[in-house]
């Protein structure tokens, strides 16, 4: 079996950590048990381009249990957990192409392995695999043979919707990110907590009393802002969307333009999915010693070339912390090369929240294999009944019971929807 990982010797460490994550993924476990019986993905070649973490390992095992031939490559050069990659190769015979810290050339060589696997289904996180399959680099017949795909994150969904709008998307995709049991929980609680975890691991910063500027008050920003406040930070929010800005105000945060927030912040965290939200004019006003990081999908939110241009020297002061000495004597600290800090410096989202995200992935893969013939080349939502079934299973697993509508209540509500 072809693969490219850092070190097979790490496999047993990886296995122990994957099993630990599995304890917190009861919904995925139930799906695995059903998949073992029913084998809904029998004979399906599936290329996944995801962060290679313990949670992803459990997803890969579920897909394999369902009968799929799975190949996994990294969706970010810095997020791979090398012990997990080793365990999947050694203990599960799943071909993995991912090494933490791989350079850009290797990153794309690894994606090319996923392309050349000639997948029937793709599973992406950020749409790099889909883009590569559609590019001139790939054998054109490969994209023709893909039945359908799934996409994990906001940025990927935006890229794919724009491909669909231009009429260049060649197969249907399910936007797993847009499932309620995904972004309500994963983006908000998962990114919220793990972004703080990454910042603290990288810096050992005391959050209490720190002024934190949160750039973007979408799903991830809301989760992060709330958790930073919980640890005692003075949180400022910056936004471009009036509704989300208003929500931040009503949630009790100060909302300021970026230029003012930059001047006050000890820590700036970008979570927008947008480009250069932090740039020269902001660096010019920032306080000496301010820390900057990103938890959005791509490392484009912070304009690093601008920062370099303003600096006389860049040095690594501690692992994942680069000190930029500015011409005027101030120093700014960039974490994790501006890549998503929760995966670079910490372990990404907790398994309990990835349980639901990856349950959506597994069920969506099953759905597209069954239904691809009725689907067009566009981006679809996760079917509502799948989404609802995951919420039900998660509640069950948590031991939380809820009430049922009485017959009278059901009739009453129906009468409104029927307009009587």
Closer to ligand NAI by Cβ: residue 11 or 320: 320
Stretch that binds ligand NAI, among 3-11, 150-158, 201-209, 365-373 (CB under 6 A): 150-158
Cβ of residue 63: shortest distance to ligand NAI, in angstroms? Answer: 21
Distances (CA, A) of 301 to 155, 213, 277: 12, 14, 5
Closer to ligand NAI by Cβ: residue 46 or 256: 256
Q: Which residues pair with 321 in a beta bridge?
A: 318, 335
Instruction: Tell whether residue 357 is a contact of ligand NAI (CB under 6 A).
Output: no
Instruction: Tell whether residue 14 is a contact of ligand NAI (CB under 6 A).
Output: no
DSSP string, 87-148: HHHHHH---EE--TT--HHHHHHHHHHHHHT--SEEEESSSHHHHHHHSTTS-HHHHHT--E
Output the CA angle 399-400-404, nearest 5 degrees.
130
Instruction: Tell whether residue 241 is a contact of ligand NAI (CB under 6 A).
Output: yes
What's the count of helices (H) and strands (E) in the chain, helices before strands?
19, 15
Instruction: Tell whether residue 81 is a contact of ligand NAI (CB under 6 A).
Output: no
The contact pattern for ligand NAI, residues 163-202, with x = CB under 6 A and - = no contact, is: --------------------x---x---x-----------
Instruction: Tell whether residue 277 is a contact of ligand NAI (CB under 6 A).
Output: yes
Instruction: Tell whether residue 153 is a contact of ligand NAI (CB under 6 A).
Output: yes
Instruction: Tell whether residue 278 is a contact of ligand NAI (CB under 6 A).
Output: no
Distances (CA, A) of 303 to 40, 201, 307, 339, 346: 45, 23, 7, 12, 23
Instruction: Tell whether residue 154 is a contact of ligand NAI (CB under 6 A).
Output: yes
Q: Give the separation between CA 96 and CA 56, rounded to whole angstroms.
A: 12
Distances (CA, A) of 47 to 63, 95, 135, 221, 266: 11, 10, 16, 30, 41
Do residues 60 and 38 touch, judged by C-beta distance below 8 A? no
DSSP state letter for 72: E
Output the CA angle 204-206-207, nearest 5 degrees.
120
Number of residues forming the site for ligand NAI (CB under 6 A): 30
Closer to ligand NAI by Cβ: residue 32 or 227: 227
Residue from 81, 238, 352, 360 in contact with ligand NAI (CB under 6 A): 238
Quickly count: other Cβ atoms within 10 Å of residue 93's Cβ. 11
Q: Give the separation between CA 393 and CA 149, rounded to whole angstroms.
A: 24
Stretch that binds ligand NAI, among 60-68, 98-106, 233-241, 280-288 (CB under 6 A): 233-241
Instruction: Tell whether residue 102 is a contact of ligand NAI (CB under 6 A).
Output: no
Cβ of residue 75: shortest distance to ligand NAI, in angstroms? Answer: 11
Instruction: Tell whether residue 150 is a contact of ligand NAI (CB under 6 A).
Output: no
Q: Which residues pair with 331 in a beta bridge?
A: 325
Stretch that binds ligand NAI, among 142-150, 161-169, 204-212, 266-274 (CB under 6 A): 266-274
Residue from 40, 77, 216, 338 in contact with ligand NAI (CB under 6 A): 216
Q: Which residues bind ligand NAI (CB under 6 A)?
A: 153-155, 183, 187, 191, 215-221, 238-241, 244, 271-274, 277, 295-297, 340, 342-343, 348
């Amino acid at each position: 079996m072809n693969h490219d990982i850092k070190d097979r010797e790490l496999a047993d460490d990886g296995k122990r950590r994957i099993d630990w994550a599995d304890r917190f993924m009861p919904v995925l476990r139930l799906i695995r048990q059903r998949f073992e019986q029913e084998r809904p993905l029998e004979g399906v070649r599936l290329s996944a381009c995801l962060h290679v973490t313990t949670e992803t390992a459990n997803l890969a095992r579920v897909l394999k249990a369902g009968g799929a031939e799975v190949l996994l490559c990294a969706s970010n050069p810095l997020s791979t957990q090398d012990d997990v990659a080793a365990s999947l190769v050694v203990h599960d015979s799943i071909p993995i192409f991912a090494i933490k810290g791989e350079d850009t050339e290797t990153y794309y060589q690894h994606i090319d392995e996923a392309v050349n696997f000639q997948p029937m289904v793709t599973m992406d996180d950020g749409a790099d695999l889909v883009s590569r399959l559609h590019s001139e680099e790939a054998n054109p017949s490969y994209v023709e043979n893909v039945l359908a795909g799934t996409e994990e994150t906001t940025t990927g969904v935006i890229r794919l919707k724009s491909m669909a709008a231009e009429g260049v998307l060649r197969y249907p995709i399910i936007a797993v990110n847009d499932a309620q049991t995904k972004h309500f929980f994963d983006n908000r609680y998962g990114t919220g907590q793990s972004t703080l975890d990454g910042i603290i691991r990288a810096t050992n910063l005391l959050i209490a009393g720190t002024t934190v500027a949160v750039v973007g008050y979408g799903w991830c920003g809301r989760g992060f802002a709330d958790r930073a406040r919980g640890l005692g930070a003075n949180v400022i929010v910056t936004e471009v969307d009036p509704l989300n800005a208003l929500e931040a105000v009503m949630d009790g945060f100060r909302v300021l333009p970026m230029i003012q927030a930059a001047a006050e912040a000890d820590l700036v965290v970008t979570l927008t999915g947008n480009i250069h939200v932090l740039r020269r004019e902001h660096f010019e006003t920032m306080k000496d010693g301010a820390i900057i990081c990103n938890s959005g999908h791509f490392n484009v939110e912070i304009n690093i070339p601008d920062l370099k241009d303003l600096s006389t020297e860049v040095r690594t002061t501690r692992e994942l912390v680069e000190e930029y000495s500015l011409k005027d004597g101030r120093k700014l600290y960039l974490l994790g090369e501006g890549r998503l800090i929760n995966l670079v410096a910490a372990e990404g989202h907790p398994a309990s929240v990835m349980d639901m995200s990856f349950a959506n992935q597994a069920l969506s893969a099953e759905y597209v294999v069954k239904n691809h013939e009725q689907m067009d080349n566009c981006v679809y939502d996760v079917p509502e009944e799948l989404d609802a079934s995951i919420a039900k299973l998660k509640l069950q697993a948590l031991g939380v019971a809820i009430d049922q509508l009485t017959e009278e209540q059901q009739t009453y509500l129906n009468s409104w929807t029927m307009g009587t």
